[in-house]
Amino acid sequence: MVEPAKSSPLSELCSALPSLPMRLQEVGRFVAANDYDATTRSMRDLAAEAGADPAAFTRLAKALGYSGWDQLRAALTEARRPSQTAPFSIRARGRRQGPHADVALVTDKLDAEAAGLARISAASIAHAARALHGAKRIWIAGFRSCRSVAELLNYELRLFRPDEVQLVGGSGPEDLDLGAFRSGDAVVVVGFAPYSRASVHSAHAAHRARATLIAIADAAAAPMAEGADHVLLYEAAASPGFFPSLTGAMAIAQSLAAVTFSLGGATSKKRLQDTEARLAATSQYVSEKG
């Protein structure tokens, strides 16, 4: 006999709403409408936005059968994770059909990307950039699809810190770089579910070296974000399409580079000018005149 599929915590919440006290109904509707924020923001932040007492979130969780808000949030986070055996193909199901389905998909995706960017914390990025500015050396780890984000951040930072930034695994096996992390370094690790083993290993190596760990992740509960000094969250799963979105991660990477450059003041500007002069001298760009 096949067991029925377990309902999601979000479905359980919506089903329970009519039987809850009025105030808990309001909090429950807020969580249902903001399930991504519920998995990434603190209970105090959520309560402030919802205009509710933080304790109401704990009471809501207990009314649904959880021991507390942390357990409900963990269940919501787990429910958002894609299947480990088919993380991408499972997202391709259920798209609407029709003569304008392709245009509708693009519109939906652009809308979702814009909404995801609006949720990124500017203050968190600024704090993390200060850690990059003060680091003796910066290591950037991104693997598989996240390699593009890591390479972008590596390129932009090296324009004005050419001798202090390195891509993990950029010049050989990544395990050689993991052993080179030191206290005073900063390690940036990029990832989203399903998480690569290499990203988790990089985070663990940063902890062992007592380096500052900056995680660019899709969830606070991401394994490579555990114990991080700075967690920079972006929306990966809500965007339609077969593949999770990296738009937010790219925006965070570019913002980190921009703020780190600004913090460097005249020194960063001089280094950037030197880099540009070297690129011009070696004719790296097509001349607009020719």
Mean pLDDT on 140-147: 94
Mean pLDDT on 231-259: 86
Whether pLDDT at 5 is above 70: no
DSSP 90: G
pLDDT of res. 251: 95
Going across the sheet that includes 138-142, the strands are: 165-167, 138-142, 186-190, 212-217, 230-233
Contact 228, 203 (CB under 8 A): yes
Taking every pair of Cα atoms in the chain, the longest distance, rounded to a whole number of angstroms, is 74
Whether pLDDT at 3 is above 50: no
Whether pLDDT at 242 is above 70: no
pLDDT of res. 223: 87
Name the pTM for this structure. Answer: 0.69
Q: Which residues touch 88 (CB under 8 Å, ≥6 apart)?
A: 82, 242, 243, 244
Whether pLDDT at 106 is above 80: no
pLDDT of res. 4: 40
82 or 199, greater pLDDT: 199
pLDDT of res. 281: 85
Supply the DSSP string of 144-195, one letter for each residue.
Answer: GGGHHHHHHHHHHHHTT-TTTEEETTSSS-HHHHHTT--TT-EEEEE--SSP
Mean pLDDT on 236-241: 69
Tell me the three state secondary structure of residue 237.
coil
Tokens 């030197």 sit on residue: 274
Q: What percent of the chain has pLDDT over 70?
A: 86
Q: Residue 94's pLDDT band (boundaries 50, 70, 90)? A: low
173 or 249, greater pLDDT: 249
pLDDT of res. 253: 96
Tell me the three state secondary structure of residue 233.
strand
Domains of the chain and any CATH numbers: 9-77 (1.10.10.10), 118-281 (3.40.50.10490)
pLDDT of res. 77: 75
pLDDT of res. 42: 80
88 or 190, greater pLDDT: 190
Residue 94, sorted as left (phi over 0), alpha (psi -120 to 50) or beta, turns out to be left
121 or 237, greater pLDDT: 121
pLDDT of res. 135: 96
Q: Residue 266's pLDDT band (boundaries 50, 70, 90)? A: very high
Closest CA to 251 of 113, 110, 115, 117: 117
Per-residue pLDDT tens digits for 191-224: 988 888 999 999 999 999 999 999 999 888 888 9
**Burial class of residue 182 (count of CB atoms within 10 Å of its CB; 0-12, 13-18, 19+):** exposed
Whether pLDDT at 124 is above 50: yes
